[in-house]
Structure formats: C-alpha cells, structure tokens
Structure 1
C-alpha cells in the first residue's frame, strides 16, 4: 500500500489536473484500512470519501511544496546562519545532536549503499521559552535582575531522510497524509470512548434514580430539615434523558457505519485544521534572549517556519541537508570497553 503513495506524491502526479482517479481510490482504501474497515459495507463509501481524500491529498502536496529549499546543517553553517546558531548552543552540541538522530541512524543502516554526500530531510524542534533574570545595558548603566525571556530549541528530530531533496519531500507528503489518517482514527476512538462514558454515566444515574425512589426522598425532603429536596429524582431523570438523546437510537457502544464514515470524511475534509505551516519571526540577541520590537538586534530577525495542528502540537521546522561528514559515528561500546580493560 505504501507503494501507491510513492506514485501519488511524485511531481507528475501533482499537476494542474491533480492526482488521477485511480490514485485517489487507492488513497481512499488506505484511509479506510487505517481507520474503520467496516465502512466498506456501505456501497457509497468511495463516493462519500472521494472529495475529502482529494482535498487532503491536494493540501499535503501544497504544504510540502511550499516549504523553503533545504538549508545546510553543519559546523560551517553554524558560523554563517543565525537560525542554526539559535537551534544549537555550539558546534559540539550540533554534532552531538546529529549523532543521536534516530531516523538518520536508521537511514544510514538501511541505505548505506546509496552514494549520496548529503542526507536531506526535515529538522523538527520544540521551541521553549522560559523567564530568567539577567543583566541589561541602559545607556552607560548596567541593570541587574532584569526579567527576560530566554528562547531555546530542544527535542531535535530529523524526519524523512533521503538521498535527494525530491525524495525527502515525497516522503514528507506520505507522512503528512498518514498524519491526517491518524487524526481521523483518533476522532473515531474519541467518539467511541464518549459513548462508553455516556453508557457508564447512564448506568450510574439509573442506580441513583432507583435509590432515590427506594428511599422515598420526595416525602422525606418535605418532612426533614436536612437540605434535601424533591428535585433529586427530576434532575436524575432529566440527565438520563439528555444522555439517551446524545447516545441516539444506536443502543451500542460501537459507532454506526454512517457515523464512522462521517467522522473520517470530516477530518480528511479539513486538512488545514489538522496540519499546516505558518511563518514565525523571532528577534533574539546572541544569548538567545528575546528582544522587543524596538530593541536593536545584531543577529537580526529569524525567519522561521512553524508546523502546527488543532491537536495543540507546534514544532519549528527547517528543511535541511546534512553533509555525511558532519554526522559522527556512534562509539563502539565493546571496542571502547576492551581498550579500557586492556
């Protein structure tokens, strides 16, 4: 099934006419396989998913194609590119991170025969801001204990490694499409969990209602000065009715086929909500301290790109190319231990 995605996201498939019908059909089947295969029992499932899936495919193609050209990630670029200096605290830190990138290690292990001098991919990081106390020069006076915001980047990852820019972008499109499918699956799981919780709540309320009736609260509340009133039964009955209405007529924790298909179509039909990018401008000094708009900056503005989702996830991304010579080999633990032991 992954093979069709490679064809789907080739440059020729993303022309003015968009992906062809056969490839969209294959994308529909992948979405169904990864979410709820039961919907195939609905004779019109392909027709109902065609437009949302085509919209999702068009979106991820446009999103990845709009990313800037890859930037070299190396010791040399650390000295010339303010973004690389912001992403890594030092050259040693840069090499340490490159040596620990899981996807790059996997790529080198399985694709060692590819004669490429660079590894293309997408650098992904988490931007962190924390309040610190620092010093600030005001005229000729040094002010201490000034509240400042320090910006740093952590949780570096390098995804979709490939021997070429074209290969990396194609892999990113595949991953972006699968990301949308994952969100559809999460939506199905959330709806199912909601029904389970409602069923549980309804059982508890029925037990409460039975207890209220068995205890004769309606009379007791009129005779006893204990703060209870006869609204308990009415409130429980009203809440049960509300839950029954929300559960609908299905009478089971499983979603109906139409409901499940609607959930899948809704998520894939709004791809920009679940995955998109936007520009981010940062003004930092050489220490990584955020500057106000009116403050001068020797490093200038950092033009960054943020990947975001309605899930709340936000990451700074940078299409990159890593010269192979910049990636340190992992230490041979056995060899090092043998040398240490003599």
Structure 2
C-alpha cells in the first residue's frame, strides 16, 4: 500500500519499513511542515493515518475488474456505448489523452492499465416514444452522456494502477486538509490585523483625551467594532500559542474520517443505444454499472479501471 509514499521517504530513517510513518511524514509535509513542532505529532496522527490508508485500501480494492477499451469491442459492450458516442470517439480519447502520452514518452511503451474518469451528464429532452402500438410525440425523456474523459494512474498491471489510485486519493485528502488549514491561517492573519487596528484607535482616543479635555469623543468606527467582534468569535484554538495544535487537529480530523471527504458509491443506469434512460432492461436497453467517485466539495465523477489496447 502506498508504494509512492514509501519511495518519497525512503531516505528517512525507518519510514521505508513503516508505510504508516511514511504516510504521516507526507501528510505533514503536504499541509504544514511546522506541525512537526507539536510534541508527539507522530503518535497523535498515527491512528488517523492508519484509518485513512485502510479506508483507501477498502475503497480501491473493491472496485470492479477493469473494462477493456478495445475499439473493436465497442458495439458489443453496453458500457463502451454509454461512455463514448462512437468507436471513433473512443479512439480519439485514447490518442489525445496527455497522461497516456506522457507515460508513453517516459516509458517508451503504451500502458496496459489506467483509471478512466468522466463526468456524467443527465439532460431532459423531448422526443418520440412508443406506448403499445401508439407513437407519442414530445415525450419528456432523460438522456445520459459522459464527458471530459481523462486517464490517471497508468501502469503495466492492474495492481500497480490500484496502488497509484490510492496514492492519488491520499494526496486528495491532504489537499482538503490543506484548504482548511489555509482558511484558518487567513482568519488568524485577519484577526491580528483587526486587533492591531482596534488597539491603534483606542490608543489615539486616549491620547487626544489627555491632550484636550474638551475634545469630542472619537469613537471606534462601527466597521472596526464589527471586525473586533468577529475576532472574538474565532475559535479559541486559533490563538497563536495553539495554532500548530489546531493545524494538526484539522489534519487528524480529515484522515480519521476519510469517508466524510472521499468515497466511491456504486450505482447502475439502464440506457438504450441512443443514450436514453429507461426503467427496465428490454429491447436495446442495457444495464450499465457505475463507480461514482465523490468528495466533500460536491464534485462527482464516474470512474472505471480500464485495460488499454496495445
């Protein structure tokens, strides 16, 4: 598991023998290296790292066997017909994908396996439909299509591709944690600026009062008062003396509950050769199983392990 993580930290003492330790170091390096300043950070993050890696193993190893993207099999496979509008479109995706091209340039050969990612689109259209022997017109129908095809994690074996997918998924969890840490950093920086502004206003008011007893009252602007109130509403752990603990807790929270941030759900659709969604399998309508990869930011992609034509 996570061979990429191990290779990154093979020069660190002991981490090449302990993928959990390597994952912890990658997590800290990928979010905020200053987290290493927290006493016992490795011990505090270890249960979360173990949970994240076990979860990714479960999710990726549970994906269906790879789908062959051989264009000659297009007509016979309902999944290929659903994912691509034609055999020619399939060939175009294979020939133009930058990830596959980069792999071929570096390795000198075409990869055998990869992860295919697509965006599933559903649209309502109006067309003809049969009800018994009667043809009805302007019937609302749902069409299903797949767009933005991209390949990831190309390799020479199914297992190697799955390991690369786990690495990418772990990096995605770190990206989500980094975004949360960045938000907290922005809030803390704003808090410091607002406190300095408030103190400057109060100091100026006191100075003028000492110099001129009859001077008008100089009030702190309403906007600055609102900002000061916002400062006070920030969480206590955003204070400077505990900020590294707050960063570590954000990272730990993401890794200990990976299922809240990244997940693969399984569903199926029934579509005919025109891409129209049907209620049951009959005629030219076939069932197409899907793996939907989703994250806590609201993004969702259809994904499939694939074997590539050589």
Q: TM (normalized to structure 2)? A: 0.82
Question: Which of 113, 138, 142 is 2:131 aligned to?
Answer: 138
Question: Which of 297, 300, 305 is 1:314 aligned to?
Answer: 300
* 3-state SS, counterpart of residue 296 of structure 2: coil
Could you say which residue in structure 2 is the equivalent of 1:299?
285
* 3-state SS, counterpart of residue 292 of structure 2: strand
Could you say which residue in structure 1 is the equivalent of 2:5?
5
CA contact (8 A) 2:270 2:280 kept: no
- Give the alignment of 1:160-309 within 5 angstroms: 160-196=153-189, 240-246=228-234, 248=236, 256-291=243-278, 293=279, 296=282, 298-309=284-295
Shift in Å at residue 197 of structure 1?
Answer: 5.2
Shift of the 260–250 alpha-carbon distance from structure 1 to 2, 3 Å rule, reads closer
Could you say which residue in structure 2 is the equivalent of 1:90?
86
Unaligned runs of 5+ in 1: 9-18, 217-231, 325-342
Number of residue pairs aligned between Structure 1 and Structure 2: 291
Shift of the 20–273 alpha-carbon distance from structure 1 to 2, 3 Å rule, reads farther
Answering whether residue 26 of structure 2 is matched by residue 26 of structure 1, we say no
Q: Structure 2 CA distance, aligned partners of 1:249 and 1:124?
A: 39
List, as ranges, runs of 4+ consecutive aligned residues in structure 1 with deviation greater than 4 Å.
Answer: 196-210, 213-216, 235-239, 249-252, 294-297
Cα-to-partner distance string for 1:214-246 (whole Å, 9 max, x where unaligned): 589xxxxxxxxxxxxxxx97x985774353131
Shift in Å at residue 195 of structure 1?
Answer: 3.6
CA contact (8 A) 1:283 1:297 kept: no
Shift in Å at residue 171 of structure 1?
Answer: 1.3
CA contact (8 A) 1:56 1:268 kept: yes
Could you say which residue in structure 2 is the equivalent of 1:54?
50
Cα-to-partner distance string for 1:251-307 (whole Å, 9 max, x where unaligned): 66x97111111111111111111211111111212211122x368453222111111
Question: Which of 56, 78, 81 is 2:74 aligned to?
Answer: 78
Could you say which residue in structure 2 is the equivalent of 1:227?
none
* 3-state SS, counterpart of residue 317 of structure 1: strand
User: What is the aligned-residue RMSD (CA, Å)?
Assistant: 3.4
Cα-to-partner distance string for 1:92-135 (whole Å, 9 max, x where unaligned): 111011111111001111111x5x7x620111100011222211
Shift in Å at residue 80 of structure 1?
Answer: 1.6
Shift in Å at residue 143 of structure 1?
Answer: 2.0
Shift of the 130–92 alpha-carbon distance from structure 1 to 2, 3 Å rule, reads same
Shift of the 249–171 alpha-carbon distance from structure 1 to 2, 3 Å rule, reads closer
Unaligned runs of 5+ in 2: 9-14, 205-215
Q: Structure 2 CA distance, aligned partners of 1:317 and 1:201?
A: 46
Could you say which residue in structure 1 is the equivalent of 2:96?
100
Answering whether residue 149 of structure 2 is matched by residue 156 of structure 1, we say yes
CA contact (8 A) 2:5 2:26 kept: no
* 3-state SS, counterpart of residue 246 of structure 2: helix
Shift of the 6–99 alpha-carbon distance from structure 1 to 2, 3 Å rule, reads farther
Q: Structure 1 CA distance, aligned partners of 2:230 and 2:18?
A: 45
Shift in Å at residue 55 of structure 1?
Answer: 0.7
* 3-state SS, counterpart of residue 287 of structure 1: coil
